[in-house]
Structure 1
Amino acid sequence: MSERVVKPVGRGFLFLDSHPAGCARVVRDMAAEVEGRPAERRTALVIGSSSGYGLATTIAGLARYGIDGIGVCFEKAATARRTATAGWYRTAETAALAAELGRSWTFVNADAFADTTKDEVLQLVADKLGKVDHLIYSVAAPRRTDPRTGETYQSVLKAIGAPHSTKSLAFEDGEPVLQEAVPIEVANDDEIAQTVKVMGGEDWTRWVAALQERDLLKPGFNTVALTYIGSELTGPLYRQGSIGAAKADLEQTALKLAADGVTAMTSVNGAAVTQSSSAIPGIGLYVSLLHNVTPLQSPVEQSVALWDQLTGATPLDLDDEGRIRLDRWELSDEVQDAVRARWQSATQDNIAEVADAAWFLAEVRRLYGFDVPGVDYDAETEVDVEWPAATATGA
């Protein structure tokens, strides 16, 4: 037992500790957003199941359709100095939720890029699920070591073609600060190629191929990689930048898989506050402005819509390039015109009015289990939480 009072300590949008009880409550709050539906047993493999849209997709599938599955993520346990990562605590609570619902879920804590991880996970698929109906790929990583070459690749957040600067949102002593011109460097060809290697579609392809080789795909199998397009306001750094090159590679990968007979698509999600997005210059400001213009559809709401489409409960909402679009609410002309006007008019004097900065900061803190209603942050909490064992087999 290792109980202590956990307080938020960190720099910027990065916290060194996470609150176990707060992270657990976040999982329960996400599950409470979902209305269950009776359905035949389905199985899923979720790569990147502990945070962001991968977590939302895991919880939505479990709570809405009772999906059995295996989740793969890469988290750190508690040490003598630090708590476990937020994803560790969220995974433990997701497993508890699955057990209460009588579903079969196993969570593997390992490097999703490694062939050894694929071997372990596919054996679990064979032993616990038989075969899979769905593969959800939601991986955001700073680096990747290719197990077949031993080479390590590093992703970068840079522009392509010409230098760029962007407005961005920071905080000093909890107060919003508008940064007028954050410089964005230009990526060279090697940096772009490495970013594609880390966050593009190569590893997704390898997961699909590994499942095929072991005959672990059910008839009607489908797979989606979760992605984001976003606004023209963030485009020079995101969609037209080095990360955008990786996202474009994901989309091309979907087309190649489809040409080989696999039902594969990318799912374009709407804006959300995630541990990945909060680190990107300009995204915090954009999402804060967006929240003041229109209610955001939560990651769980969008994930419910995704599962409804993947299971055939509702028709696929595809664009002309075959991508599932869950972001239409964000990219409507009316919404984008309003956000653009606020972006252009934002100054340090009016930032608290045109942008919902306080909400954004609270959402970032929630990623680490802080600022969650109903949690006593002055009480001691157990930080040494065990990685969850596999839950019981679902009916």
Structure 2
Amino acid sequence: MNVRQIDPKQRGFLIVNSHPAGSAETVRRMWEQIPCRTDGSGPVVLLLGHSAGYGLATLLTGLRRHGIRGVGVAFEGAETERRTATAGWYRTAAADSLAQGAGHDFVFVNTDAFSKAGKHEVLALVEERFGKVDHLIYSLAAPRRTDPETGTVYHSVIKPLGEPYEAPALDFSGDVPKVGRVYLEPADDEERHATEQVMGGADWRLWVEALAGRGLLADGFTTVALTYIGSDLTAPIYRQGTIGGAKENLEQTAADLAAVLGDGGRAYTAVAGAAVTQASSAIPSIALYTAFLRTVLGDGFRTTVEQAGELWDQLTGAVPLVLDEQGRIRLDGWELDGQVQDRVRELWADPEAGLERARAGADWFMEQIRELYGWGVDGVDYGRPVETTVPWPTPGVSHA
């Protein structure tokens, strides 16, 4: 037990501690947004990267709407003497509590999903408890990855390719958000390759091969890796940069896996729309773009839960698959609508004046960042001491 008063430790986008009650409340609110349409006897799902962003939304929507069973995997930090546990740790505990209360048999493993030991631990649990897997959802996001065969540690970088990148960016260093500038030199070949090894399809492929090797692919097995394309405004740093190169590799991996699975399975990438996540907030210019997008769309900005609902409806056959010419599932039409992008482009053309018009959008963006760590959540009393020692859910205990 460790009941203490905590305050956010924040500098710009960086927040190094999290609030247990606030993190739990964000999960509860997401849960309540999702219509309950299931008896809890749905497909078996292995969800890699369940604790944040689209992975968390996919988990909660799958449980609430489709009664998924299975295993979620994340790599979160426990509480230390100096810091709270990560927000993903607290969110997982909250998600487990909700799943238990609804009678769902879903368990959570905290391990390095990139490692051989992590894969062995997870697949042994899947095999013992659930048998074959119907859906593998790949939503891992990490700054580095160790190749399990060679031991090489790869670090991803966010850089342009070919030419330097200079563009407006949102600056939260002062009391009021303002427009700054970001300048980045292009990545070299080694940095491009390293980013591909972290964020591309190498680990996704290993997971599918490991499932197949243990005979854990169900008939009609489907695997999906979540990805993003975004606007041409951010393309130089995203889709045309090191991240984009990794995403192209991810898409090629989907095609390769689909060929290997043949008629017995399916493999796709699913292109989600913009979202405020811990990963996206680290990408230069994305914050300003997202603030402008929110200003243009208002409540029409699609939440991760709404998009996850669309994804599950397509995967389960409730609605037809929406595929583009490259065979990717598309969930981002609301963002890339021509009229929407034209209005965002108008703000982008004069970013200082645009920010004055989009002040509410910038404030909203920072509020969303704080909520990722459990701070600034309405209804949470941050003036009261809170229990910060929250146990990770025990995988071996059945909640069915």
TM-score by length of 2: 0.96
Matches of residues 377-392 of structure 1 in structure 2 within 5 Å? 377-390=382-395, 392=398
Counterpart of 1:339 in structure 2 is: 344
Distance 1:122 1:28 in 2: 29
Question: Which of the residues 352, 358, 379 maps onto 1:354?
Answer: 358
SS in structure 1 at match of 2:342: helix
The offset of 1:129, in angstroms, is 1.1
Distance 1:354 1:291 in 2: 8
Distance 2:194 2:124 in 1: 30
Counterpart of 1:275 in structure 2 is: 278
Counterpart of 1:35 in structure 2 is: 35
Distance 1:43 1:373 in 2: 35
- Count of aligned pairs between the two proteins: 392
Contact 1:166 1:184 in 2 (8 A): no
The offset of 1:41, in angstroms, is 2.3
Distance 1:66 1:283 in 2: 34
SS in structure 2 at match of 1:365: helix
Contact 1:176 1:352 in 2 (8 A): no
The offset of 1:52, in angstroms, is 0.9
Which residue type is aligned with residue 60 of structure 1? T
The offset of 1:38, in angstroms, is 3.1
Contact 1:41 1:67 in 2 (8 A): yes
The offset of 1:350, in angstroms, is 5.4
Question: Which of the residues 293, 297, 308 maps onto 2:296?
Answer: 293
Change (3 A) 1:174 1:301: farther
Distance 2:218 2:146 in 1: 30
Segment of structure 1 superposing worse, 283-292 or 36-45: 36-45
Contact 2:168 2:351 in 1 (8 A): no
Contact 1:268 1:324 in 2 (8 A): yes
The offset of 1:185, in angstroms, is 1.5
Distance 1:393 1:346 in 2: 51
Distance 1:207 1:365 in 2: 33
Counterpart of 1:64 in structure 2 is: 65
The offset of 1:20, in angstroms, is 0.2
Distance 2:2 2:93 in 1: 16
SS in structure 2 at match of 1:392: coil
The offset of 1:63, in angstroms, is 1.1
TM-score by length of 1: 0.97
Question: Which of the residues 237, 259, 269 maps onto 1:266?
Answer: 269
Counterpart of 2:105 in structure 1 is: 104
Change (3 A) 1:135 1:232: same
Which residue type is aligned with residue 341 of structure 2? Q
Which residue type is aligned with residue 392 of structure 1? S
The offset of 1:393, in angstroms, is 4.9
SS in structure 1 at match of 2:369: helix
Contact 1:103 1:392 in 2 (8 A): no
* Residues 24-45 of structure 1, C-alpha deviations (whole Å, 9 max, x = no match): 0000111111112236521100
* Residues 259-302 of structure 1, C-alpha deviations (whole Å, 9 max, x = no match): 11240000000000000001111000000000010121000110
Counterpart of 1:307 in structure 2 is: 312
SS in structure 1 at match of 2:172: strand
Which structure 1 segments of 5+ residues have no match? none
Which residue type is aligned with residue 274 of structure 1? T
Which residue type is aligned with residue 117 of structure 1? G
Distance 1:320 1:244 in 2: 18
Counterpart of 1:93 in structure 2 is: 94
Contact 2:169 2:286 in 1 (8 A): yes
Which residue type is aligned with residue 35 of structure 2? E
Distance 2:79 2:358 in 1: 40
Segment of structure 1 superposing worse, 168-177 or 189-198: 168-177
SS in structure 2 at match of 1:252: helix
Distance 2:340 2:267 in 1: 30
Which structure 2 segments of 5+ residues have no match? none
Contact 1:346 1:354 in 2 (8 A): no
* Residues 219-278 of structure 1, C-alpha deviations (whole Å, 9 max, x = no match): 111000000000011100000000000001000000001111240000000000000001
Which residue type is aligned with residue 398 of structure 2? A
SS in structure 2 at match of 1:93: helix
Distance 2:64 2:398 in 1: 16
Q: Cα RMSD between the aligned structures? A: 1.2
SS in structure 2 at match of 1:172: coil
SS in structure 2 at match of 1:8: coil
- Does structure 1 residue 117 correspond to structure 2 residue 123? no
SS in structure 2 at match of 1:235: coil
SS in structure 1 at match of 2:177: strand
Change (3 A) 1:185 1:44: same
Matches of residues 308-323 of structure 1 in structure 2 within 5 Å? 308-323=313-328
Distance 2:354 2:243 in 1: 31
SS in structure 1 at match of 2:170: strand
